[in-house]
Amino acid sequence: MAAPTPSRATPERRMHHNTLYFPDGDIVLSALVDPVQEEGILIHPRQMFRVHRFILRRNSLFFSDMLSLPAPEALDANEMYDGVPLVPMQDSATDLASLLNALPFKHKDPNTPFLIRGILRLAVKYDMNPLRARILEHWAADWPRTLADWDHFESDIALMKARYDNARDGKLDGLFFDDHFPEPALAIRVAQDFGCTDILPAAYYRVACVSVKHDWTRARAAEAPLTVTSPLVRGEFTARWELLDHADLVRVLAAREFLSSTFFHLADALKTDPECDNVACENVQAHLREAVVPRYQARSDVLGAINACLKLAYKAEEFGSGYIMCQACKGEQDDQLNYWKGIIWRDFQTSSDICLFLRITSIARHIRV
pLDDT 10s digits, 56-73: 876 777 887 777 665 544
Kindly indicate the confidence band of residue 330, based on its pLDDT and cuts at 50, 70 and 90: confident
Assess whether pLDDT exceeds 50 at residue 223.
yes
75 phi and psi, to 5 degrees?
-130, 150
- For residue 271, CA distances in Å to 212, 268, 341 come to 33, 6, 16
Q: What is the DSSP code (8-state) at residue 322?
A: G
Assess whether pLDDT exceeds 90 at residue 317.
no
> Per-residue pLDDT averaged across 322-339, rounded?
87
Q: What is the pLDDT, as a whole number, of residue 77?
A: 46
Assess whether pLDDT exceeds 60 at residue 219.
yes
> Per-residue pLDDT averaged across 176-189, rounded?
95
> What is d(CA 246, CA 252) in angstroms, rounded to the nearest whole number?
10
Assess whether pLDDT exceeds 80 at residue 33.
yes
> What is d(CA 332, CA 353) in angstroms, rounded to the nearest whole number?
32
DSSP-derived 3-state class of residue 90: strand
Q: What is the pLDDT, as a whole number, of residue 5?
A: 42
Q: Which of 217, 270, 209 is nearest to 236 (CA)?
A: 209
Please tell me which of 105-119, 131-145, 330-344 the model is most confident about, judged by mean pLDDT: 330-344
